[in-house]
Amino acid sequence: MEKGTIYDLDELENLYNDLNDHLETNINYPGWIKGVYPTRETALKGIEESNLFVFRIDNTIAGSIILNHHPEEAYKQVEWGVDAKAENIIVIHTLVVHPSFMNKGIATKLINFATKYSKEQKMKAIRLDVSVNNMAAIKLYEKLGYKYIGTVDLGLPYAHLKWFKLYEMILNND
């Protein structure tokens, strides 16, 4: 796992587009929309903020994740398991796996990396939101020990992306 660089931008954009094409022709669990999210700008911002990480297999980006301190506004609507300021939590965003590498444990590796990274940064918790329709991701998060906190409306302008489940993993940094 390594931080993404500007040299990864074209490959990340292609990964996002390939993934969205795959989702359109299969079951689009996350509800993502090609050209809306995720996009080249999503990757560029993650690279510029130095919080986008890539996982490579044979010099090809198999998956990527953005880890930052930017919770959605709707996160304030629930009572989290641990009281923490944004700078003391990591929020998982844009967890992606290229269709060619699906069902090979890449998403698990990305989530496990997020845990290790967050502990190294002495964070109190990891938080995330996931569309209520994204059953595959929900199952993975729960299997990896994330606790369901509540369901909120993130205020997105798409009917199919109204409700999101919030999850948290409290970290013990002893």
pLDDT of residue 112: 97
Please write the tens of the pLDDT for every residue from 76-99. 999 999 999 999 999 999 999 999
**CA 100/CA 63 separation, integer angstroms:** 10
pLDDT one-digit tens code per residue, 111-121: 999 999 999 99
- pTM, full prediction: 0.94
Q: How many CB atoms lie within 10 A of CB 100?
A: 12
**What CA–CA distance (Å, rounded) separates 102 from 123?**
29
What SS3 state is found at 21? Answer: helix
CATH 3.20.20.140 fits 2-170, yes or no: no
Domains of the chain: which residue ranges? 2-170
Interatomic CA distance for residues 113 and 117, integer angstroms = 6
How confident is the model at residue 173, as a pLDDT?
65
pLDDT band at 122 (very low <50, low <70, confident <90, very high): very high
Confidence of residue 174 (pLDDT cuts 50, 70, 90): low
* Both structure tokens of 141: 């998060």
Strand order in the sheet with 60-68: 2-3, 52-57, 60-68, 89-97, 125-131, 163-170, 147-153
